[in-house]
Structure 1
């Protein structure tokens, strides 16, 4: 099994067994959920760029100041304009 298929399988198992609500007692503040976003990002952009987009999204999820679900689809391209790359450039 390829690494990409293995990661997608793990995401599928996480979602099938209840996701964040069951495992961590939390609900995602985004639509689609962080796991669905990460799965789609990996399918569109490949394993490493998709995981970066997913990780950036998960870090922003479940902040206490969020009041509603925000719609945030997967971007068409993983470009330097995305927040995870901007933070990396500022750190240099």
Structure 2
């Protein structure tokens, strides 16, 4: 029989309650759910849903935040031709 190890996860009370309620509907315990997710992760079955944003994506998001907060104004295009011209430069 393989040796087993424990993993401890800290959750705030509200999140823990919501997790337990949803898992109860599926007739699963948090331990069973964690085992399923980690097994699928190791098998490479969750790779597409766990993508982490790279530096380019993070920089683009920061530009949008800066534009929304007035910290930096992004260029505006009012017609397709002017947008297309800017993209092709």
Higher share of residues assigned strand: 1
- TM over 0.5, shorter chain: no
State the TM-score, normalized to the length of structure 1: 0.25
State the TM-score, normalized to the length of structure 2: 0.26
Larger-Rg structure = 2
